[in-house]
């Protein structure tokens, strides 16, 4: 080792490796003026020199640092990690540039600082290691700026993942703990949870906040804990009180954030006046607070409280700026969720008002239904069902599906359901009804247009399945328009998906609809459903049909149990709505149905009256015999007068007495008001007066005029 590099003693007698010989004092003076911290350590990592800047920033006098390792004098820093890096540079000779770490020093023990340190080895002329020099720069501002940017970046990824108000509020609390605060509580005005925009007004005793999100660095979300160490007085879901003079009340009133660096009842009158909050503040050690209003589109929706407890640093103005940015971004997500909640609730209310509130009384089938809405992200859809009593003790079973979701889909569903009820009342065959419904959908679209600008065309492409079951003949007639085929479960348990002609979706036009007829034994199940039951994002239709087939096993079970089994085969929150209609067929036996074939001869009108009268006596319905004979006389007389060929008279005893006269013509009877001088024209008018209702239905061979009379209960 050359003489100029021989270790020397400094003025205090400590060993030195400063390589400048006689100029040591000069070089030490010059380097000591550097605005960044510098130090030299020997091969044992003991400090042999440091400049004034490092001495000042570390807060430890030079005399106490020389000859000692970093871990001996600065325990607030990650000294073991730093010394490991030093040793690595000494051993390898490779410099280490910009190594960052955080810690506290004696110069500022209450604040966490970030430092960037670079290390390089000091070598002799022959390359032998003499020691190590390191340079320290305080990069706290840069480190905090990066932290804030990272936190703000997290907001976009972690807040607003759902359209649920409470979940979004909880995400705000989750993302800011522990990086910004030790405890966060998110309170929203109660109308916001119902999707309603809060009305502006003064904050008073009637102002109700609801605690919808909170998180603590100590225990997480604190959903159900309450003890002396629990930061929050209110649990999640409970009301949060608003003291009139508190920062929360001021935020709600003027929409401005408030910073309380020191949370001390002795210097804050509003806290001293709130005994419960004051006691809790002292008990758990809350020492600094920020209150930021949750404000979107000029409306205050609630407030967010930020507290520090274990972190010794109080909140500063930069923290408040960051908190305001946090809350402002979250507020937009919360308001979007509120608006979605409002629209979803309105659409759901509309849809439920348009769906049957109760299935009508009829004896053809035992029937039950279920409606399973889609998940919240998808929104309310346009699935619907209906049960419509028809003439002749028959019943129509309907399911339909409107494309899209939301208010438009629900409104379109209501229009289609009303149209089907009207068309069904005309006793149309299933294929004819779907053809008229198809024309109606085309008219909907023509009225609204198909251009841009948000025009609603949800009716276009809607699907529908319409089935008519006759309990006398046990025949079921069905037709479908772009809808999944129904399932039939015979009494023996065999499940069959009926091979109906598919038919195009509604609104396409130009293509005919076809019907099919099936005889269903008494006790058969007829299962109608929408495609949400069998189609999901992660499974195909065949898999869905197989699961549906398995869920329909044991058809003798109660219908409610069968419905539960069917719905258990789909996801708990399906991506599309599910409408389900399950009917068990019944049969009217021969003792309740009687018919006669009559010649088209006026002489047989009296015989028709006698036949009807004797049958009513047999059924014990003598109290309506006179009225019924009058109705039979009028209907048979009209059929003989205007029809060709034989006439059939049929009586059905159901919940009402049904009288039917069938002939081979398609002429439509018309009720009119006869003039005083007219000799006829009063027959159908009298029929309408004496019966509950009457009508005409057409068949492939003619028409049937029918009436219904109310039966007096036998009590």
Q: What's the CATH architecture for 356-585?
A: 4-Layer Sandwich (3.60)
- Burial of 664 by CB count in 10 Å (0-12 exposed, 13-18 middle, 19+ buried)? middle
pLDDT of amino acid 180: 86
- Count Cβ atoms below 10 Å from residue 299 Cβ, excluding itself: 17
The pLDDT, as a whole number, for residue 30 is 60
Task: Provide the pLDDT for residue 312.
Answer: 84
Q: Which CATH superfamily is domain 3-138 in?
A: PAS domain (3.30.450.20)
Question: Among 240-249, 477-486, 494-503, which is the least confidently predicted range?
Answer: 240-249
Region for residue 255 given its phi and psi (left: phi exceeds 0; alpha: psi -120 to 50; beta: otherwise): left
Identify the pLDDT of residue 632. Answer: 92
Q: Which residues contact 449 (CB under 8 A, 6 or more apart)?
A: 455
How many residues belong to the chain?
715
User: Which of 107-111, 155-159, 265-269 tops mean pLDDT?
Assistant: 265-269
Tokens of 90: 């000494």
* Alpha-carbon span 595 to 334, nearest angstrom: 68
- 619 pLDDT tier (thresholds 50, 70, 90): very high
Query: Can you give the pLDDT at residue 502?
Result: 87
- Nearest-angstrom CA–CA distance, 426 and 167: 50
Q: What are the DSSP E strand ranges found in 578-676?
A: 578-585, 593-598, 647-653, 656-663
3-state secondary structure 349-410: HHHHHHCCCCCCCCCCEEEEEEEECCCCCCCCEEEEEEEEECHHHCEEEEEEEEEEECHHHH
Confidence at residue 345, expressed as pLDDT on a 0 to 100 scale: 78
φ/ψ of residue 121, rounded to 5: -85, 140
Is pLDDT at 207 greater than 80 in this prediction? no
382: confidence class by pLDDT, cuts 50, 70, 90:
confident
Give the number of other Cβ atoms within 10 Å of residue 386's Cβ: 23
Lowest mean pLDDT among 162-166, 283-287, 407-411: 407-411
Reported as a single tens digit per residue, the pLDDT across 639-688 is 888 777 789 999 999 989 999 999 988 777 665 554 444 444 456 777 88
Sequence-ordered list of residues with C-beta below 8 angstroms from that of 422, at least 6 positions apart, any chain: none
CA 163 to mean position of chain CA atoms: 7
Where in the chain are the domains? 3-138, 144-345, 356-585, 590-710
Rounded CA Rg of the chain: 43
Query: Average of pLDDT values for 314-340?
Result: 89
Do 310 and 191 contact (CB within 8 A), yes or no? no
Residue with tokens 């009384």: 361
| pLDDT value at residue 521 | 94
Condensed to tens digits (0 to 9), the pLDDT of residues 45-89 reads 999 999 988 988 888 898 999 999 998 998 889 999 999 999 999
* Phi, psi for 664 (deg, rounded to 5): -95, 15
* Angle formed by the axes of helices 559-567 and 541-551, nearest 10°: 150
DSSP 667: P
pLDDT at 405: 73
pLDDT of residue 205: 53
Rounded CA-CA distance 500/310 in Å is 71
State residue 348 phi and psi, 5-degree precision: -65, -40
**Other Cβ atoms within 10 Å of 253 Cβ, number:** 15
CA distance 708 to 656: 6
Question: CA-based angle 461:464:469, to the nearest 5?
Answer: 165
Question: Do 189 and 207 contact (CB within 8 A), yes or no?
Answer: yes
The mean predicted confidence, pLDDT, of the chain is 84
CA angle 680, 684, 689 (to 5 degrees): 120
pLDDT > 70: percent of the chain: 87
Class level of CATH domain 590-710: alpha beta
Residue 206 has pLDDT above 70, yes or no: no
Please give the model's pTM, rounded to 2 decimal places: 0.65
Residue 32's pLDDT band (cuts 50, 70, 90): low
Q: How confident is the model at residue 221 (pLDDT cuts 50, 70, 90)?
A: very low
Q: Quote the pLDDT of residue 670.
A: 62
Q: What are phi and psi of 260, to 5 degrees?
A: -120, 90
- How far is 467 from 486, CA to CA, in rounded Å? 10
Region of poorest pLDDT, from 233-242, 421-430, 452-461, 471-480: 452-461
Q: What is the mean pLDDT of residues 309-323?
A: 88
Of the CA atoms within 13 Å of residue 280, those in its CB half-sphere come to: 13
Phi first, then psi: what are they for 62, rounded to 5°?
Answer: -55, -40
Helix (H, G, I), strand (E, B) or coil at 686: helix
pLDDT value, residue 674: 44
Q: pLDDT, tens digit, for every residue of 675-687?
A: 444 444 456 777 8
Residue 289 — pLDDT band, cuts 50, 70, 90? very high
Q: How far is CA 478 from the centre of its chain?
A: 35
Give, in words, the CATH class of 144-345: alpha beta
Peptide bond between residue 178 and the one before it cis (omega within 30 degrees of 0)? yes
Using an 8 Å Cβ cutoff, are 344 and 195 in contact?
Answer: yes
Q: Do 3-138 and 144-345 have matching folds?
A: yes
């Amino acid at each position: 080792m050359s003489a100029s590099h021989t270790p020397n003693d400094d003025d205090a007698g400590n060993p030195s490796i400063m390589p400048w010989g006689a100029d040591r004092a000069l070089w030490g003076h010059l380097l000591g003026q550097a605005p960044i911290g510098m130090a030299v350590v020997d091969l044992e990592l003991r400090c042999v020199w440091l400049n004034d800047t490092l001495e000042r920033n570390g807060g430890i006098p030079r005399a106490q640092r020389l000859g000692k390792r970093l871990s001996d004098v600065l325990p607030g820093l990650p000294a073991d990690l730093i010394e490991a890096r030093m040793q690595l540079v000494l051993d390898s000779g490779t410099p280490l540039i910009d190594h960052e770490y955080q810690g506290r020093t004696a110069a500022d023990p209450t604040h966490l600082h970030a430092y960037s340190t670079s290390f390089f080895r000091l070598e002799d002329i022959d390359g032998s290691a003499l020691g190590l020099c390191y340079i320290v720069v305080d990069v706290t501002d840069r480190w905090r700026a990066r932290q804030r940017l990272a936190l703000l970046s997290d907001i976009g990824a972690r807040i607003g993942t759902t359209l649920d108000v409470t979940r979004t509020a909880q995400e705000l609390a989750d993302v800011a703990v522990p990086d910004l605060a030790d405890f966060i509580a998110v309170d929203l005005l109660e109308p916001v949870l119902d999707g309603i925009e809060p009305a502006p007004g003064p904050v008073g005793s009637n102002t109700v906040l609801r605690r919808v999100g909170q998180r603590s660095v100590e225990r997480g979300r604190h959903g159900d804990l309450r003890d002396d160490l629990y930061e929050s007085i209110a649990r999640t879901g409970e009301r949060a009180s608003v003291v009139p003079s508190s920062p929360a009340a001021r935020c709600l009133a003027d929409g401005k954030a408030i910073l309380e660096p020191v949370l001390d009842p002795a210097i804050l009158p509003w806290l001293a006046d709130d005994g419960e909050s004051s006691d809790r503040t002292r008990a758990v050690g809350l020492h600094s607070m920020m209150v930021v209003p949750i404000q979107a589109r000029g409306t205050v929706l609630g407030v967010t409280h930020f507290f520090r407890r274990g972190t010794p640093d109080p909140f500063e103005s930069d923290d408040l700026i960051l908190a305001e940015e946090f809350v402002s971004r979250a507020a937009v997500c919360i308001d979007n969720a509120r608006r979605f909640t409002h629209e979803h609730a309105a659409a759901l209310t509309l849809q439920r008002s348009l769906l049957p509130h109760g299935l009508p009384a009829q004896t053809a089938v035992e029937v039950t239904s279920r409606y399973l809405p889609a998940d919240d992200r998808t929104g309310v859809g346009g699935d619907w069902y209906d049960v419509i009593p028809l003439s002749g003790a028959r019943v129509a079973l309907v399911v339909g599906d409107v494309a899209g979701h939301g208010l438009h889909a629900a409104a379109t569903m209501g229009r289609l359901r009303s149209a089907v009820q009207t068309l069904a009342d005309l006793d149309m065959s299933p294929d004819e009804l779907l053809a008229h419904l198809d024309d109606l959908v085309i008219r909907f679209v023509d009225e609204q247009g198909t251009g841009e600008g948000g025009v609603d065309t949800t009716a276009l492409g809607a699907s529908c399945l319409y089935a008519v079951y006759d309990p006398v003949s046990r025949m079921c007639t069905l037709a479908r328009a772009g809808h999944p085929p129904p399932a039939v479960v015979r009494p023996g348990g065999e499940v069959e998906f009926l091979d109906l002609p598919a038919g195009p979706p509604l609104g396409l036009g130009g293509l005919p609809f076809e019907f099919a007829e099936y005889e269903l034994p008494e006790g058969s199940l007829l299962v109608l459903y929408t495609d949400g039951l069998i189609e999901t994002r992660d499974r195909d239709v065949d898999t869905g049909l197989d699961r549906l087939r398995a869920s329909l096993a044991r058809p003798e079970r109660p219908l409610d149990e069968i419905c539960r089994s069917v719905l258990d085969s789909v996801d708990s929150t399906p991506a599309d709505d599910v409408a389900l209609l399950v009917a068990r067929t019944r049969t009217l036996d021969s003792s309740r149905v009687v018919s006669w074939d009559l010649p088209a001869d006026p002489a047989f009108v009296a015989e028709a009256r006698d036949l009807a009268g004797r049958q009513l006596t047999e059924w014990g319905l003598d109290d309506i015999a006179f009225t019924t004979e009058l109705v039979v006389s009028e209907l048979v007389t009209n059929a003989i007068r205007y029809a060709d060929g034989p006439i059939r008279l049929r009586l059905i005893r159901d919940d009402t007495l049904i009288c039917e006269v069938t002939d081979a013509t398609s002429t439509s009877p018309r009720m009119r008001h006869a003039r005083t001088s007219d000799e006829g024209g009063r027959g159908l008018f009298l029929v309408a007066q004496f019966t509950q209702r009457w009508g005409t239905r057409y068949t492939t061979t003619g028409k049937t005029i029918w009436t219904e009379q109310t039966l007096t209960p036998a009590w």
